[in-house]
Amino acid sequence: MANKIRFGFVGTGRISDWVLKGAFLDPRFSLEAICSRSKERAEAFAAKYGVKKTFTDVEEMASDPDVDAVYIGTPNATHKDIAIKAMNKGKAVLCEKPMASNAAEVREMIAAAKANDVLLMEAMISTLNPNFKEAVRYMDEISPVRHWSSSFCQYSARYEKLLGGEVTSVFDPAMAGGAIMDIGIYTIYPMVRLFGKPDSLCASLRTLPVPDGSLIDVSGSIQFSYPGMHASVIYSKTDDSFLPTEIAGEKGNILLDQIHITRKAEYIPHSAPTSGRGLPPERQDITCSMDGDEYQCEFREFIDLLTYSKKESAVNSLQTSLTVMEIIDEARRQNGITFPSDKI
Ligand SMILES: NC(=O)c1ccc[n+]([C@@H]2O[C@H](COP(=O)([O-])OP(=O)(O)OC[C@H]3O[C@@H](n4cnc5c(N)ncnc54)[C@H](OP(=O)(O)O)[C@@H]3O)[C@@H](O)[C@H]2O)c1
């Protein structure tokens, strides 16, 4: 492998642009090739970044010996096929969240990663964020944990389009869209990273019909039961929320200002048992200095793993990706949401 990790990017949408800003901050990153469904779009995107190689076929790009790794920035329902094609050509894969349409597809992807002995990682930035990692170091201080409470609600322009009858990929069942897949996942993934698989869950999702008659969720709330603790999450693409994420333990609390990208983290040690008239608790700011860009952390993790010939991240593990998808499958099942990709 060359000194730099040479990436081939699939998809020329806004997420590819977004993550590249962070990727280029890692001196070990190099952009080698662009793959798009359209030759013109591939060439236009490549020209913007001074990249010479363009492709319209993922397998051709993944067969190129100068490509070490493939980043997938395409709609959810396309992840599995693209990832497996790349892995079958021996390439490491960094795949946008959610890893796939459903748990069955994630299992196929994990099997392909193992069969080809290649690295596969979900591009979930929340758990790799420096402030989240710092906060995790305080878990022992607050344990035993009794509650995880997380919120990610952001009014979306694409919700307005949906109301106007235009179904973009983020709300398209054929693309395995919906709010839980798009932003609900940010409240669930870090919870699974910290506490594993819940014993049970009860999901209440608000759904709207799309023109083909199927349902898609636009917001939701989910309650989870764990041994000795509860968890609750809310997410929405129809309204904003500024609620922080809180990890509450018997010996203290951790507050994260935003779960998708934590910019401020606080630790609040539980001082003394009170009956309601104690002094307000002292908040300790445990925020660290952020990277130059919020997406840098996922490339740092992925390139570190490749550099040390690791096939899996200990943070964004394959089991975490699978458990998260199983949870989302169950939340959809409880609310009558199915995707064409569920009917294999
Ligand atoms: N990590 C984050 O912060 C973040 C933020 C937003 C989105 N995402 C994730 O990024 C992925 C893409 O989301 P998006 O909103 O950017 O999607 P999008 O705009 O609908 O599509 C992104 C790109 O994928 C390609 N594409 C579109 N439809 C396709 C299809 N049917 N088959 C193959 N390629 C297709 C297109 O590139 P070409 O025309 O060049 O083929 C398009 O520009 C999703 O998995 C989403 O969850 C992550």
> In this predicted model, what pLDDT tens digit does every residue of 295-315 receive, in sequence order?
999 999 999 999 999 999 999
Q: Give distance in angstroms: CA of 17 to centre of ligand 1.
A: 11
Q: For tokens 């993790």, what's the residue?
A: 301
Q: Give distance in angstroms: CA of 99 to centre of ligand 1.
A: 13
> Which domains are seen in the chain, by residue range?
5-124+294-309 (3.40.50.720), 130-292+324-342 (3.30.360.10)
The pLDDT-based confidence of 80 (bands split at 50, 70, 90) is very high
Contact 79, 87 (CB under 8 A): no
Atom of ligand 1 nearest to the CA of 42: 40
pLDDT the model gives residue 142: 96
Q: Give distance in angstroms: CA of 199 to centre of ligand 1.
A: 33
* Average of per-residue pLDDT across 186-199: 98
Alpha helices in the chain (DSSP H): 14-23, 39-48, 58-63, 79-88, 103-116, 130-136, 139-142, 157-163, 179, 185-195, 296-307, 318-334
> In this predicted model, what pLDDT tens digit does every residue of 308-343 receive, in sequence order?
999 999 999 999 999 999 999 999 999 999 999 997
For ligand 1, atom 26: residue with the closest CA? 74
Q: Give distance in angstroms: CA of 154 to centre of ligand 1.
A: 19
The pLDDT-based confidence of 3 (bands split at 50, 70, 90) is confident
The pLDDT-based confidence of 208 (bands split at 50, 70, 90) is very high
For ligand 1, atom 3: residue with the closest CA? 15
The pLDDT-based confidence of 61 (bands split at 50, 70, 90) is very high
Q: Give distance in angstroms: CA of 95 to centre of ligand 1.
A: 11
Q: Which of 255, 200, 273 is nearest to 230 (CA)?
A: 200
For ligand 1, atom 32: residue with the closest CA? 78
pLDDT the model gives residue 200: 98
Pocket lining for ligand 1, CB < 6 angstroms: 11-15, 36-38, 41, 73-76, 78, 96-97, 123, 125, 169-170, 182
